[in-house]
Amino acid sequence: MTYDATNYEATLLGGIPAENPTLFRKVLMTAGDPAAWIETAQGESTLIIRDVEVDRARRTSSARRVTAPAEFAPAAGLDSDRATATAQAAAECLRRIGARRVRTDRSLPFIFAWHVQQAGMEIVYDDALGVLDRRVKSEQEIEWLAEAQATTERAMEMACSRIARAEAAADGTLREQGEPLTSERLKSEIAKFLLDLGYTMGHGCIVATLPDSGDCHASGRGPLRTAAPVIVDIFPRCEATRYHGDCTRTVVHGTPTETVARMHAAVVAAKAAGIAKLVPGETAAAVHRAVVETQQQHGFQLARGTVTDHPTIQHGTGHGIGLEVHEPILLDDGGGELLAGEVFTVEPGLYGRSTGGVRIEDMLLVTDAGPRNLNRLPEGLDWR
């Protein structure tokens, strides 16, 4: 349930800014210790953060007041544990401003909620807090996402061209300079490539071929092979801005089979159909429906959550993206209305154990003038 300002006296966000994207947007620094953001219904904001971080936080955050837990020590004093002390200080700050009902979001650690409740205040969960405001991106956020996607595409081009230009051994496995070209080796090279550009891959990446690519989220293992599709999915984070890129392409060394070529044509058409629906006022569910219907028109069926021998549709169409790789809302069944300024991935795919998988993923900005694609790379299977 969403609450307006008449239903609560203050808003509380808490946790570690380096790990909590909603709190990070308030603090704008990657502090590794607990912090609390408190804002009254009148818009007065207080940031409580470790004492050694106060000066830096005053330079980065928009809080009217930045202070350390010691300023809000309760009568019994603060615990020596930092998380406990920060939660105690947050509760004391809320008590001093006279809050009785405190609004919070899905990410609040229970330690904060417990101390607020022990102080006699009611915690009110707002399901839109930290979601709706993050869905619509600022011009700066859009620029950061575009930069992250451009860097991701550089890594993608490197990886796909290496697969396409490798040598095929007599047994069909790919080699570079006489050494096997494996999923593990290429994932390591992608990570090094991105690290040199200031990006990290906290969740790794995907370089998957047969038989693993029959499962849409298998990360891949073992030697890559000629004539078999290889799904490459890269989703790194820029360490300077904390915003993510996310791009998928499929590459085939040599000549794809007729089935793989048909799968690819269906995925390309489905992506175009989904993108065409990516406009303000349309629903995320309608985007997904357009993608699924297009793939079905090409002769492929839905098999959500099931790995099959023959190629099928296994997943939704895409997701929001920003400070996290996967952010609300999903382009899937039940997805609500799209808003101008949202950024989504559109990533239809088809997967089968006997055929391998094909997926193509772009990042798009929803605008009143129509979707703006932040990708530039081609969609084809041939990367020579």
Question: Among 98, 130, 162, which residue terminates a domain?
Answer: 130
Is there a single domain that holds both residue 109 and residue 234?
no
In whole angstroms, what is the distance from residue 138 CA to residue 239 CA? Answer: 19
Angle (CA) 35-344-259 rounded to 5° is 135
233 lies in some domain? yes
Is there a single domain that holds both residue 160 and residue 299?
yes
Mean pLDDT of 266-282: 98
**Length of the chain in residues, anyone?**
384
CA distances from 315 to 203, 215, 261 (A): 19, 10, 20
Asked if residue 326 has pLDDT above 50, the reply is yes
* pLDDT tens, position by position, 119-132: 999 999 999 999 99
Q: Place 7 in a pLDDT band, splitting at 50, 70 and 90.
A: low
Q: The whole model's pTM is what? A: 0.94
36 lies in some domain? yes
219 lies in some domain? yes
Determine which helix (DSSP H) or strand (DSSP E) holds 250, and give its type and residue range. Answer: strand 247-252
Q: Write the CB contacts of 205 (distance below 8 Å, at least 6 apart in sequence).
A: 187, 190, 191, 219, 232, 233, 234, 235, 236
CATH of the domain at 154: 3.90.230.10
Is there a single domain that holds both residue 121 and residue 155?
no
Is there a single domain that holds both residue 118 and residue 140?
no
The mean of the pLDDT values for the chain is: 96
CA distances from 318 to 174, 176, 262, 314, 343 (A): 31, 34, 22, 12, 10
381 lies in some domain? no
Question: Among 89, 106, 130, which residue terminates a domain?
Answer: 130
Is there a single domain that holds both residue 143 and residue 189?
yes
Asked if residue 5 has pLDDT above 80, the reply is no
Mean pLDDT of 23-38: 96
pLDDT of residue 8: 75
Question: Among 65, 100, 130, which residue terminates a domain?
Answer: 130
Is there a single domain that holds both residue 225 and residue 334?
yes
Is there a single domain that holds both residue 216 and residue 100?
no
Is there a single domain that holds both residue 53 and residue 166?
no
Mean pLDDT of 267-294: 98
68 lies in some domain? yes
382 lies in some domain? no
378 lies in some domain? no
Burial class (CB in 10 A: 0-12, 13-18, 19+), 55: exposed
In whole angstroms, what is the distance from residue 242 CA to residue 306 CA? Answer: 34
Mean pLDDT of 318-325: 98
Phi-psi region of 126 (alpha: psi -120 to 50; beta: other; left: phi over 0): beta
Is there a single domain that holds both residue 192 and residue 278?
yes
Read off φ and ψ for residue 263, nearest 5 degrees. -60, -45
Of the candidates 255, 206, 232, 216, the one whose C-alpha atom is nearest the C-alpha of residue 352 is 216
CA distances from 194 to 178, 184, 237, 376, 381 (A): 25, 16, 9, 18, 23
Percent of the chain at pLDDT > 90 equals: 96
Is there a single domain that holds both residue 13 and residue 62?
yes
In whole angstroms, what is the distance from residue 79 CA to residue 156 CA? Answer: 49
The structure tokens 């406009």 sit at: 279
379 lies in some domain? no
* pLDDT tens, position by position, 352-365: 999 999 999 999 99
pLDDT of residue 3: 46
Q: Write the CB contacts of 224 (distance below 8 Å, at least 6 apart in sequence).
A: 163, 166, 173, 174, 181, 182, 183, 186, 207, 209, 230, 253
* pLDDT tens, position by position, 75-110: 999 999 999 999 999 999 999 999 999 999 999 999
* pLDDT tens, position by position, 131-171: 999 999 999 999 999 999 999 999 999 999 999 999 999 99
Q: Which domain holds residue 105?
A: 5-130
Q: Place 225 in a pLDDT band, splitting at 50, 70 and 90.
A: very high
Percent of the chain at pLDDT > 70 equals: 98
Q: Place 25 in a pLDDT band, splitting at 50, 70 and 90.
A: very high
pLDDT of residue 237: 98
Mean pLDDT of 250-272: 98
Q: Place 217 in a pLDDT band, splitting at 50, 70 and 90.
A: confident
- Total number of domains in the chain: 2
Is there a single domain that holds both residue 150 and residue 111?
no
